[in-house]
Amino acid sequence: MITPELTRYIQDARYIGISDAEIVQKLEQAGWAPILMAAGLRALTETSARESVVLETHNITKTYEGNSNALQGVSLAIHKGTSVAIVGKSGSGKSTLMHILATLDRPTSGELIIDGTPTSQLSQPDIDALRNKKFGFVFQQFFLNGRDTCLDNVTLPLAIMGVSKKERIQRGMEMLKLVGMEEKAQQKAVELSGGQKQRLCIGRALITQPEVIFADEPTGNLDTENSANVMKILLDLQKSRGITLILVTHDPDLAKLCDRTITIKDGIIV
Ligand code: ADP
Ligand code: MG
């Protein structure tokens, strides 16, 4: 029989990033019968769909052409409303993992489950729609339109969605206020400092009210002071709005600000 204890054990182990192979090993050592473990792992895949897990991966690998094994079997579960830092040295596979979690790229093998739905079962247009609805992005390179105003930049996702100008202005001004940029509304983005640009990007990522924010080295181009300020705004908004934050960083001090840290080395969670 699959006991709640077994399910909970597997869930917790996956939650902290232990791979299924390791879980089986540990359970074996603890004296569980192999058949129960397999059933337990299967049952968990079903349970996690119902529970608070927003993103889950099963044994994901990624092989780029001419570059063996950027990811070599990553299994993890990320709970709704939490902040998770993905840390590791340059080239360890952080961005690859983030891109796959965010559906910007597909794994070579393994499964990504979003809100209980295995993404391998979805068509590309469905995946694109899901990404637009649920995810927001903040990158190290700001990708702002320098010649457009801050208000136009922050409301760009709404314009793409076909939201009326009146509503765009209203929501845009609210968002600029939240990131401390309301006085810059009519200024062109090119005129901003690095910290201001990144705050604008946070506003643009949040304006569609996404469930998950992916931030890849968001403070990589900022000095210490601006970096602290941007992190504070990001984490304050994440908490107050119950958003899940996935922060990719090589900086252990930034990682400490998150609820949990996933460390990746040579494409494996350690
Ligand atoms: P990180 O973000 O931790 O610095 P990446 O995920 O960008 O690491 O890269 C992991 C590994 O995959 C590295 O060896 C990198 O060179 C390789 N890699 C990343 N993107 C590509 C790509 N588009 N084509 C080929 N190799 C890539
Ligand atoms: Mg990277």
Cα–Cα distance for residue pair 162/253, rounded to 1 Å: 40
Can you tell me the mean pLDDT for 105-131? 94
Closest-lying ligand 1 atom to the alpha carbon of residue 93: 6
Instruction: Please tell me the number of the ligand nearest to residue 217's CA.
Output: 2
- CATH top-level class of 76-269: alpha beta
Give residue 237's pLDDT band: very low, low, confident or very high (50, 70, 90): very high
For 169-219, write each residue's pLDDT tens digit. 999 999 999 999 999 999 999 999 999 999 999 999 999 999 999 999 999
CB 139 within 8 A of CB 201: yes
> 266 CA distance to ligand 2 centroid (A)?
13
Strands 117-118 and 67-79: unpaired
**Better-scored residue on pLDDT, 97 or 14:** 97
> 67 CA distance to ligand 1 centroid (A)?
8
For residue 44, the model assigns a pLDDT of 63
Full-model pTM: 0.81
- In the structure, ligand 2 is a single-atom ion and the residues with CB under 5 Å from it are 94-95
Cα–Cα distance for residue pair 218/210, rounded to 1 Å: 17
Establish whether residue 68 lines the binding site of ligand 1, counting it when its CB lies within 6 angstroms of any ligand atom: no
Kindly provide the b/e burial profile for residues 242-261, where b requires at least 16 CB atoms within 10 angstroms of the residue's own CB: ebbbbbbbebeebbebbeeb
Among the listed residues 213, 204, 263, the one whose alpha carbon sits nearest the alpha carbon of residue 239: 213
Establish whether residue 96 lines the binding site of ligand 1, counting it when its CB lies within 6 angstroms of any ligand atom: yes
For residue 85, the model assigns a pLDDT of 97
Establish whether residue 93 lines the binding site of ligand 1, counting it when its CB lies within 6 angstroms of any ligand atom: yes
Q: Does 49 score more than 60 pLDDT?
A: no
> Domain boundaries in the chain?
76-269
For residue 15, the model assigns a pLDDT of 63
Closest-lying ligand 1 atom to the alpha carbon of residue 217: 2
For residue 30, the model assigns a pLDDT of 75
For residue 61, the model assigns a pLDDT of 97
CB 212 within 8 A of CB 134: yes
Lowest mean pLDDT among 7-11, 20-24, 223-227: 7-11
Residues 6+ apart with CB under 8 A from 14: 20, 23, 44, 48, 56, 75, 76, 77
Can you tell me the mean pLDDT for 67-91? 93
CB 66 within 8 A of CB 29: no
Sheet holding 260-265, edge to edge: 135-139, 212-216, 244-249, 83-87, 260-265, 268-269
For 148-175, write each residue's pLDDT tens digit. 999 999 999 999 889 999 999 999 999 9
Give residue 105's pLDDT band: very low, low, confident or very high (50, 70, 90): very high
For 192, counting Cβ atoms within 10 Å of its Cβ (0-12 exposed, 13-18 middle, 19+ buried), the class is buried
Q: Does 76 score more than 80 pLDDT?
A: yes
